[in-house]
Structure 1
Amino acid sequence: MFKFFESLTEPLPPGEPEKPPETLVAFCRHYTRGFGKPLIVMSVFTALLAILEVSLFGFMGQLVDWLVVKDPETFWQEESSTLITMSVIVLVVIPILTLLHALVVHQTLLGNYPMAIRWSAHRYLLRQSVSFYQNDFAGRIATKVMQTSLAVRETVMKILDVMVYIGVYFTTMLVLVWSADPRLLIPMIIWLALYIGIQWRLVPKLKKVSTEQADARSVMTGRLVDSYTNISTVKLFAHTQKESQYAKASMKDFLKTVYLQMRLVTKISVLIEVSNYILAFCIAALAIYLWADNAITVGAIAVAVSLTLRLNGMSQWIMWEISALFENIGTVADGMNTISKTIVITDRPNAKDIVVTKGKIDFEAVSFHYGKESGVIENLNLNVQPGEKIGLVGRSGAGKSTLVNLLMRFYDVERGAILIDGQPITDVTQDSLRAHIGMVTQDTSLLHRSIRENILYGNPDASDEELLHAIEQAQATEFIYE
């Protein structure tokens, strides 16, 4: 049964990732593809459970009235059908609905939904240019992918689950109280207006602070990861204290947002608690007054007071759910700024794999200034013949590495063209271009994987014999086997 519900949605969708929209609603809808039907089913089950729960309060009031006026000896004969129906609802219908709701939420949505978002966002970001990653912390980008996937799930599910439950529950409750006596609605409507006013006034501020907090958290995480990633450099230059101060500054900035958030939460919590107790007092006082005037029954009082006490407990829960909703909206808005960025370097629609026959390289009037008006490379012409070995000599910053990066198409030239065997590199796919060029970078880069996986990264399909040959060629046999 669990596997069936787990298989209703695809956690790793096979389609090619597309650029996410840059507006909140469209962004959430983009990452909800494939999960629409389960979300609707969840909302339907939620609405039914809310209606049934409030209906039980109504039945409780009716039961109290029966116990006051009915004869115990004839009670069962007169009301047996109603009692049996309610027993079936309580013992069979509600448990089944609860089970189905839990299966859809926990098996179909909670796990697969954010994983599908992570998978799509990760594959899209892998297509970003090198400059995208050079302009941000790797840890910060990873954090935003992880946070945003969960935040999108929480935002959508809270709206379609929690908010639906609250809306249906309140509507059904107001109808039930109206049926008892319309005058009992007066304090409830006043309380509801006050409650909405508190939320309307303070929750948007909470959203703003939450957005700032999500960004501050990403910066803090990015700085920590940056220090850990480059720990050798930190140790070599004896900058442990400097790195501590670097992280401390981001932690202080993060704490500022936490304090602002907690102040708002305290204000909301106290205001709601006070309004709850005022509501409970007003409902009880009005109910007693109406009962003394023979306007309502004891059962109606039981329903009104019970719903008020239930409302008292729910209001705090609703407050936290709404606060969490806006916090997640803030996190989505923050992550959207990173994940939705347009990919600068893309393959042309008709791009083909490069065909290398000789290996001739031509730089034709190439200019590149990193987006500035001048500097680095200006009107460069260079021809590298097949099999020719050349050396680029120049001061630091003269553009030696930039030239190689342009050949690898990590950046696009601003003017001119680069050709390999007469083929402009902008006309071929990036993957095929880079697969035909062997490059040893200035920095030592190892993935956090096995030695075998790192060696085979350039040719994952190589045989064991080819692997051993590569190790021998690199004269790495001795220290690897140690």
Structure 2
Amino acid sequence: MLRYFERLIDPFSTESSSPPTGLIAFYRYFLQPVWPYVLALLLAGLGASLAEVAIYSYVGQLVDMMTRGTPATFLAEHGHQLALMALVVLVLRPLVNAIQSIISNQTLPPALTARIRWLNHLHVLGQSYTFFQNDFSGRIVTKIVQTGSAMTQSVTQVIDALWVVAVFVTSTFFIFASADPLMAGPLAVWVVVLAVLAATFVPRVRRRAAAASEARSLLTGKLADIYGNIQTVKLFARDGREEETARGAIAEQTGRMLDQNRLLTTLSILLQISNALLVGATGAAAVWLWTRGAISPGETAVALGLVMRLSVISGRVMMTLTGLFDNVGTVEDGMRTIARPHGLIDQPDAPDLVVRRGEIVFDHVSFAYGGTTPVLRGVDLVVQPGERIGIVGRSGAGKTTLISLLLRLYDLEQGAIRIDGQDITTVTQTSLRSAIGVVTQDTALLNRSIRDNIRYGRPDADETEVRIAAERASAAGFIAGLADPRGRKGYDAHVGERGVKLSGGQRQRIAIARVLLKDAPVLVLDEATSALDSEIEAVIQEQLEGLMAGKTVIAIAHRLSTIAAMDRLVVMDEGRIVETGTHQELLASQGLYAQLWARQSGGFIGDRAPHEIAAA
């Protein structure tokens, strides 16, 4: 039966759009589709609170009826009232509480939390490459996870606190006032004190909660950064230094948490004092009024019972309020990261890129990563359909930046890039990148199976196609011998975070297999064989020759021998194209390429300036 209620809300059946940046609008964005269940939880909470107050009120009446009546006639005179209250106690109250429990445990919070995390993930996933470069991945993950649970908890806390305050306190005040106005005096003072405490402490808790949330996210980000680069930490024997990094982050987070807890402890002490004064003052007033015959024993019993109950639930209310603003602070902190507008977006109704020939045109492209020092300076380059060009130059010449702009990882600052006459800024990013196969030097794999990593190039590929791609990339041999700690073998073996369980050459071959399977019309090779030994590289080069047939290819390499046979070579220096031509033409011109070729030792380009090369 409970599964039915669990399936009432599908957290994934909603359209994705950018979450707003205002706090109220941020809440409304996520709650609007599930408002009927929020309303149902409100009504269930109202019913539970009213039932509890009715029971307390009837206890006083029962005491008075028993005091005035006789046992022999008691049931005959009051049996219908007892039956009605029995119905409330045995049926109505448990039923309302059951509905409240089902909605709050099975229906709303789990699905709402999942919905918030899902939509936030979709929005963050659509952020630009720069967004992820400027933050810790672990910190971003923490924001997404924390914001979902914090928002859900704050919604349920509002409902809980609302009915306790609105129903229980209001009903108690009414019961006291109807018995004797003097009875309501201590309660009125207590409510004012409670409001002052809330107004004084809750906003400060909210601010400190946001600071604690930020410190917690930074701690997660720094620890994830250490673990994600554990090989570097070990190779440089920097365990001690990273201990200090972690110690500082943990101390910062602990300090923020203690700042918050100081307020909570102070609030708790003051609340306990006010509760004690409420019980004492109400009890004294009730006894004094009873001695004067102003109220009945039943009313005295109800008064004492209600204030004792209020003293218990007031702590819960205040903790609920502080927990509410703790969670609101967490939501605000997460919102500042999650709800940022996308920095790189498609134009409205942008069409998909259609590649028919594969011509690529760089038209006076300049780029400085938003700074003042240009990395590319007026690059003009036309790559003919089916042409294979190699881009060479010293480190920092702008080669990889040129490729990043082609893939629209960054928006152009000046100039244009067109594929078959279509400006890449006017087509969808998904279609652009789907049309370009890329193998980079720094290959990172997903912590999934070998099969899933290869199939990433074309998710609809069948098992035979995956295995053929692996064989063409000379990866089938080592894949057969793979096994992970959970006993999965071969194509089912998982490769670890970023592919850490594989060697650099093995990761490179999986990446090549992935691109072979993708079979895109445009191919970009950025040091594609740099991690391979000479024997494997020769085999891969043969496969790449077949892959490049009929495609437009742009290859970057420091090892010039790997691209010397390209149709044309483009030499870059300080963000400009300084030479173009075939390998032989460039050697004959005795320019920068010839100097780099002469300087090359062991297949790599040195980073010395031309005059230093000439002097050598």
Which stretch of the first structure deviates more once superposed, 461-470 or 280-289? 461-470
Which stretch of the first structure deviates more once superposed, 265-274 or 381-390? 381-390
Q: Which amino acid aligns with 1:469?
A: I
Query: Counterparts in 2 of 1:213-362, with a 5 A limit?
Result: 213-362=212-361
Query: Counterparts in 2 of 1:399-478, with a 5 A limit?
Result: 399-478=398-477
Q: Verify the 8 A CA contact 1:359 1:387 in the aligned structure 2.
A: yes
Match of residue 159 from structure 2: 160
Q: How big is the shift at 1:444?
A: 2.1
- Secondary structure of the residue that 2:10 maps to in structure 1? coil
Match of residue 68 from structure 2: 69
Q: How big is the shift at 1:171?
A: 1.1
Distance across 1 between alignment mates of 2:349 and 2:256: 48
Q: How big is the shift at 1:427?
A: 1.6
Match of residue 478 from structure 2: 479
Q: Verify the 8 A CA contact 1:42 1:161 in the aligned structure 2.
A: no
Match of residue 385 from structure 2: 386
Q: Does residue 1:5 correspond to 2:5, yes or no?
A: yes
Q: Which amino acid aligns with 1:84?
A: A
Q: How big is the shift at 1:7?
A: 2.2
| TM-score, reference length from structure 2 | 0.76
Q: How big is the shift at 1:441?
A: 1.7
Q: Which has the higher helix share?
A: 1
Q: How big is each residue's C-alpha offset from its partner over 1:33-88, in whole Å with a ceiling of 9 and x where there is no partner?
A: 32100110110111111111111111111111112111221111111111111111
Match of residue 32 from structure 2: 33
Distance across 2 between alignment mates of 1:399 and 1:336: 35
Q: Which has the higher strand share?
A: 2
Q: Verify the 8 A CA contact 2:161 2:321 in the aligned structure 1.
A: no
Query: Counterparts in 2 of 1:80-229, with a 5 A limit?
Result: 80-229=79-228
Which stretch of the first structure deviates more once superposed, 162-171 or 258-267? 162-171
RMSD: 1.3
Q: How big is the shift at 1:454?
A: 0.6
Distance across 2 between alignment mates of 1:53 and 1:262: 32
Q: How big is the shift at 1:373?
A: 3.0
Which stretch of the first structure deviates more once superposed, 252-261 or 227-236? 227-236
- Secondary structure of the residue that 1:418 maps to in structure 2? strand
Percent sequence identity is 41
Q: Verify the 8 A CA contact 1:8 1:108 in the aligned structure 2.
A: yes
Q: Verify the 8 A CA contact 2:136 2:221 in the aligned structure 1.
A: yes
Q: Does residue 1:23 correspond to 2:51, yes or no?
A: no
Q: How big is each residue's C-alpha offset from its partner over 1:181-205, in whole Å with a ceiling of 9 and x where there is no partner?
A: 1210101111111111112111211
Q: How big is each residue's C-alpha offset from its partner over 1:4-45, in whole Å with a ceiling of 9 and x where there is no partner?
A: 222221121242x11111111110110113210011011011
Q: Verify the 8 A CA contact 1:147 1:331 in the aligned structure 2.
A: yes
Distance across 2 between alignment mates of 1:340 and 1:380: 35
Distance across 1 between alignment mates of 2:404 and 2:361: 14
Which stretch of the first structure deviates more once superposed, 417-426 or 464-473? 464-473
Distance across 2 between alignment mates of 1:348 and 1:81: 72
Q: How big is the shift at 1:322?
A: 1.0
Q: How big is each residue's C-alpha offset from its partner over 1:271-303, in whole Å with a ceiling of 9 and x where there is no partner?
A: 011111111111111111111111111111101
Distance across 1 between alignment mates of 2:273 and 2:164: 24
Runs of 4+ that moved beyond 3 A: none
- Unmatched tracts of structure 1, length 5 or more: none
Q: How big is the shift at 1:129?
A: 0.7
Q: Verify the 8 A CA contact 2:365 2:417 in the aligned structure 1.
A: yes
Distance across 2 between alignment mates of 1:360 and 1:47: 68
Match of residue 43 from structure 2: 44
Distance across 1 between alignment mates of 2:356 and 2:20: 42
Distance across 2 between alignment mates of 1:78 and 1:336: 62
Q: Are residues 341 and 368 of structure 1, via their aligned partners in 2, closer, same or farther at CA, if it must alter by over 3 Å?
A: same
Q: Which amino acid aligns with 1:418?
A: I
- Secondary structure of the residue that 1:393 maps to in structure 2? strand
Q: Tell me how many residue pairs correspond in the alignment.
A: 481
Q: How big is the shift at 1:221?
A: 0.1
Q: How big is the shift at 1:149?
A: 0.6
Distance across 1 between alignment mates of 2:54 and 2:92: 13
Distance across 2 between alignment mates of 1:436 and 1:223: 36
Distance across 2 between alignment mates of 1:30 and 1:477: 49
Q: How big is the shift at 1:239?
A: 1.8
Distance across 2 between alignment mates of 1:288 and 1:14: 60
Which is higher, the Rg of structure 1 or of structure 2? Answer: 2
| TM-score, reference length from structure 1 | 0.97
- Secondary structure of the residue that 1:366 maps to in structure 2? strand
Q: Verify the 8 A CA contact 1:9 1:34 in the aligned structure 2.
A: no
Q: Which amino acid aligns with 2:5?
A: F
Which stretch of the first structure deviates more once superposed, 186-195 or 466-475? 466-475
Q: How big is the shift at 1:175?
A: 1.1
Distance across 2 between alignment mates of 1:347 and 1:457: 23
Q: How big is the shift at 1:237?
A: 2.1
Match of residue 377 from structure 1: 376
- Secondary structure of the residue that 1:31 maps to in structure 2? helix
Q: How big is the shift at 1:311?
A: 1.0
